[in-house]
Amino acid sequence: MNTTDLLTTRLSPTTAPANFLDTGGKATTATITAAFRLLLADARVRAILVNIFGGLTRCDMIAEGIVLAFRELRVATPVVVRLRGTEEERGRMVLRDAGLPIYAVADFEKAVRLVGELAVARV
């Protein structure tokens, strides 16, 4: 919930977050794909922030799942991914090397600003 709270205080009311999903420590490609499918079912979604603080779950595995979900669902919505934790550098490299419009960042404040800018740009 901290993610939602911080987004709400940093963004304008028109770009406040509408959904929150916690995948827990057992996220798989299937659960990530299902999450994206649910989020993208709402036509009002203009940008997605994935905020991972991985301990048990490795950030590189989450990144690989995001890339696979992105390709499978043919995502056109901008996605910002903040990775912190185990194998975070490798995870950011997976996202950058995918050649997809996925923005990989380490800093939470930067991620919030970027997802807000992307959401506003799609109005």
Question: Can you read off the two tokens belonging to residue 25?
Answer: 């420590």
DSSP annotation string for 21-81: ---GGG--HHHHHHHHHHHHTSTT---EEEEEEESSS-HHHHHHHHHHHHHHHT--S-EEE
Quote the number of domains for the chain: 1
Task: Answer whether residue 19 is part of any domain.
Answer: no
| Tokens 């997976």 -> residue | 94
Q: Kindly state the average pLDDT of the residues 97-119.
A: 90
Task: Answer whether residue 75 is part of any domain.
Answer: yes
The pLDDT of residue 90 is: 95
Q: What is the pTM of this model?
A: 0.83
Give the CATH number for residue 97: 3.40.50.261
Q: Between residues 23 and 33, which one has the greater pLDDT?
A: 33
Q: pLDDT-derived band of residue 119, with 50, 70 and 90 as boundaries?
A: confident
Q: Note down the domain range covering 70.
A: 2-14+25-121
Task: Answer whether residue 97 is part of any domain.
Answer: yes
- Write out pLDDT tens, residues 46-88: 889 898 887 777 889 899 999 999 999 999 999 999 998 889 9
